[in-house]
Amino acid sequence: MIKLEKIYFDGKGYAKSLADQNIECSQEEVDIANKFNFAPIDSISFEYYQPQTYCDITLGDHHLKAVSIEHLYTDISRQVRTVLYPSHNPGDLY
């Protein structure tokens, strides 16, 4: 299992995709997206979307609906295990 500490919103990419796909949106939504470029999101909800490729996100006092998960990023730290467990040592080789 992976624990996600922070999820970041690609605001500029989201604003560009709205323009590229000719999706109707307010100038306020575009301004919010540009303002919060790669900012950590406060909350995320997949409640209304199946399959879970879209979500609602909250950034501060702003709530964006139907954001594609293509515009969400996270850091996944890679941890190296240094402890050997019996299952890692078949035949007592170590």
pLDDT in tens, 61-94: 999 999 999 999 998 776 666 665 656 666 666 5
Alpha carbons 44 and 56: distance in angstroms, whole number: 6
Alpha carbons 17 and 64: distance in angstroms, whole number: 14
SS3 label, residue 92: helix
Mean of the pLDDT values across residues 8-34? Answer: 90
Does the predicted model carry a pTM greater than 0.75? no
- Report which of 10, 53, 7 is spatially closest to residue 33, judged by C-alpha positions: 10
pLDDT tens-digit map of 45-56: 998 888 889 999
Mean of the pLDDT values across residues 2-25? Answer: 87
